[in-house]
Structures are given as structure tokens and as C-alpha cells.
Amino acid sequence: MAKTHTRYVCQECGRVAASYMGKCPQCGSFNSMVEEVIHDEPVSKNTAVDAKYDEKQDLARASMATGQLSSPADRLAVYFGHTGPKKCEINIDFGKTRGWVEFREK
């Protein structure tokens, strides 16, 4: 069964936070954080320990790209955002490296 939780997303830069903030810590916009209700579902149904991997059970699958940040991130940062209908992107920053992946619903 899917779990439900709330998150807040900046409408200016896409920053995601677990609680409401009057000012976005990433871009500095005031009152731009909008509440979203999330229904978590597994990315893969390949969960049995002794089962053989079955690609048909994946809900999403993509390769991650990497690049260099102009200024280093002092701690691990993970950003998730919708970039279009049934299309999302995840960015992971640490040090001078950014990893990102764009994926679509199958």
C-alpha cells in the first residue's frame, strides 16, 4: 500500500523541503514554497530475495550522468522535481560533483 506524506516545493527554483519555509533557502524567493501531497510507490517490484531480476517489473529505469559544479557543495544535497508530464529529474550534489538522472513513467 502506498504511503502518503507532504512536501513543499519552491515554484521558482524547484527546491524541495520537508516543512514550510517563508523564504526558499536556495533561491531566496519569498512565499514561493507550495505544498504537495506525495503518494510513495516502489520504483521496482523486484523485491524477492531469491527471485531472478525481471526488467518488466521496473516502474522506472535510467542511467545517471555526472558533471562538475562551479562551487563545491559542503554537504550532500538531493533535489527532485517534475520536468514535464510523467517526467521527473533527480539531482545529487556532493563536493564538486553533481549526478543527475531524468526518467519517465513506463
pLDDT digits (tens, 9 = 90+) for 29-52: 999 888 877 665 555 566 666 777
The C-alpha angle 54, 57, 61, rounded to 5 degrees, equals 95
| 102 vs 77: CA distance, rounded Å | 17
The number of CA neighbours under 13 Å toward the Cβ of 19 is: 0
Give the cell for residue 86: 510523467
Q: Alpha-carbon distance 44 to 86, whole Å?
A: 17
* Strand-pair partners of 49: none
- Distance separating alpha carbons of residues 33 and 49, to the nearest angstrom: 40
Average pLDDT, the chain: 79
At 23 the pLDDT is 93
DSSP secondary structure string for all residues of 33-80 = EEEEEEEE--SB----TTSPP-GGGBS---PPEEEEEEEEEEEEEEEE
Locate the domains of the chain by residue range: 1-41, 62-106
Q: Report, as an integer, the average pLDDT of 55-78.
A: 79
Give me the residues paired with residue 75 across strands. none
pTM of the model: 0.42
pLDDT, residue 82, reads: 83
